[in-house]
């Protein structure tokens, strides 16, 4: 067990905060330092595409409660490298911080589209400052174009529609959210947008932006010009691992970790180094899969799990959760547990309804479930996944 000493957490995020709080709850009596690239204390990201963007939530209401946390925050500061032999982290200020334990929780940064000009009115949505800048440009009657029909893009589209804006969603794939929910439910999500009057342009790419200093239109691959006053680029995120290049840590679509969240180097666990949140790609023994999950619940749970591993090593529980996320779009709450599998079956209600549950299976076992506005029902399927139960028949009680 790591007793006393110095723990450095790179990433003043939800995962980083939960890790720090867990260390303190477990009786760690050394020093805890959180390094955050943003100037803000840890805050909640889900409201950025919903309540905060829409305006009813005050800016300061997104901050996460710190409680009685006794830790030093180094904000507006970036880690630029780590020396595993020397046991220190290099900062962009020129300083180095020594550590006995290190938690990597740097999250992810938005992907962009190559070749697009930088114009006023074009945004990504990852940080609090991104949200506030975009919110300031959402004028009544304006035209918003969302590039990318994933969960963030779909939530922003729904939020802007609720504000009375004219919204167009452009997606290169023929079905929205297909990677996250599969084709069957993806088509139902497309209908959700269409039913609310949001225009979908599917199966087409974006090749440029029109305008002098300020965006005026999005140019599609077929030459079509889609008028726009505000554009959101929502084409996914990439794990923030650039600063770890050359460190010896295995970087493979994130920080490669074992089932205890221990960072690996050449396939072996690095003593005293763990990872959590969007940046971590770890072995989940429940699914027999190496996964990286970009959602709130995973960040919170994995931050705690990583801290327990740092303190207790392999005596800590393995991190084998059933992933869970939710998305609020229009009047519908979309919730998902587990993973997408090749077998898809409606097990409650109908896709023609506003409330239903779809199960996903593989090799005769249930591995995932998605619900439209059926929260209690969905949690029963989450328990089935955790128990590795068989793929259910339609209408069967979970």
User: In the prediction, which pLDDT does 395 show?
Assistant: 64
Give 140-171 pLDDT, tens digit per residue: 899 999 999 999 999 999 999 999 999 999 99
Helices (H), 176-235: 178-195
What's the whole-number mean pLDDT along residues 202-216?
A: 95
Q: Binning pLDDT at 50, 70 and 90, where does residue 366 land?
A: very high
Helices (H), 84-141: 128-135
Is the alpha carbon torsion for 24, 28, 30, 34 positive or negative? negative
User: In the prediction, which pLDDT does 2 show?
Assistant: 67
- The pTM score is 0.95
User: In the prediction, which pLDDT does 56 show?
Assistant: 84
Give 270-327 pLDDT, tens digit per residue: 999 999 999 999 999 999 999 999 999 999 999 999 999 999 999 999 999 999 999 9
Give 260-281 pLDDT, tens digit per residue: 999 999 999 999 999 999 999 9
User: In the prediction, which pLDDT does 117 show?
Assistant: 87
Q: Binning pLDDT at 50, 70 and 90, where does residue 114 land?
A: confident
Number of DSSP helices (H) and strands (E) in the chain, helices first:
7, 27
Q: Binning pLDDT at 50, 70 and 90, where does residue 115 land?
A: confident
Q: Is the pLDDT of residue 235 over 60?
A: yes
Give 16-67 pLDDT, tens digit per residue: 999 999 999 999 999 999 999 999 999 999 999 999 999 988 889 999 999 9
Helices (H), the chain: 14-25, 51-54, 128-135, 151-162, 178-195, 296-312, 375-386
Q: Is the pLDDT of residue 398 over 90?
A: no
Closest by CA to 18, choosing from 304, 317, 309, is 304
Give 89-102 pLDDT, tens digit per residue: 999 999 999 999 99
Q: In this predicted structure, which of 153-167, 211-225, 382-396 has the lowest mean pLDDT?
A: 382-396
Mean of the per-residue pLDDT values for the chain? 95
Query: How far apart, in whole angstroms, are the C-alpha atoms of residue 345 and residue 368?
Result: 11
User: For the chain, which domains are there?
Assistant: 6-109+238-315 (3.50.50.60), 112-235 (3.50.50.60), 331-386 (3.30.390.30)
Q: Is the pLDDT of residue 394 over 90?
A: no
The label of the residue with tokens 């490298």 reads 81
Q: Binning pLDDT at 50, 70 and 90, where does residue 85 land?
A: very high
């Amino acid at each position: 067990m790591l007793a006393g000493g110095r723990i450095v957490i790179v990433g003043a995020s939800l995962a980083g905060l939960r890790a720090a709080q867990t260390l303190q709850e477990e009786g760690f009596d050394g020093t805890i330092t959180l390094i955050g690239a943003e100037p803000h204390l840890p805050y909640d990201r889900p409201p950025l595409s919903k309540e905060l963007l829409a305006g009813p939530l005050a800016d300061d209401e997104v901050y996460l409660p710190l409680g009685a946390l006794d830790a030093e925050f180094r904000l507006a500061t970036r880690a630029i490298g780590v020396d595993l032999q020397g046991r220190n982290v290099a900062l962009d200020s020129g300083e180095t911080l020594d550590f006995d334990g290190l938690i990597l929780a740097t999250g992810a940064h938005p992907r962009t589209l190559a070749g697009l000009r930088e114009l006023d009115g074009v945004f990504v949505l990852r940080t609090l400052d991104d949200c506030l800048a975009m919110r300031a440009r959402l004028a009544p009657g304006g035209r918003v174009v969302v590039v990318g029909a994933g969960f963030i893009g779909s939530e922003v589209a729904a939020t802007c529609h609720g504000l009375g804006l004219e919204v167009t969603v452009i997606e290169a794939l023929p079905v929205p959210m297909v990677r996250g929910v599969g084709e069957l439910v993806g088509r139902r999500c497309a209908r959700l947008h269409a039913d609310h009057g949001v225009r979908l342009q599917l199966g087409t790419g974006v090749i440029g932006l029109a305008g002098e200093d300020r965006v005026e239109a999005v140019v599609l691959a077929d030459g079509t010009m889609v008028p726009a006053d505000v554009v959101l680029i929502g084409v996914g995120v990439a794990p923030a691992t650039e600063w770890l290049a050359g460190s010896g840590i295995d970087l493979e679509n994130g920080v490669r970790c074992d089932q205890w969240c221990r960072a690996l180097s050449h396939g072996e666990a690095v003593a005293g180094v763990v990872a959590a949140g969007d940046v971590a790609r770890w072995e989940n023994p429940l699914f027999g899969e190496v996964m990286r999950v970009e959602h709130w619940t995973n960040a919170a749970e994995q931050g705690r799990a990583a801290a327990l591993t740092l303190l207790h090593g392999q005596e800590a529980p393995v991190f084998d959760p059933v992933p869970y996320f939710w998305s609020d779009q229009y009047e519908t709450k979309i919730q998902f547990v587990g993973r997408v599998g090749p077998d898809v079956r409606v097990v409650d209600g109908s896709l023609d309804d506003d409330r239903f549950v779809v199960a996903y299976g593989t090799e005769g076992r249930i591995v995932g479930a998605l619900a439209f506005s059926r929260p209690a029902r969905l949690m029963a399927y989450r328990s089935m996944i955790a128990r590795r139960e068989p793929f259910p028949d339609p209408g069967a009680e979970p």
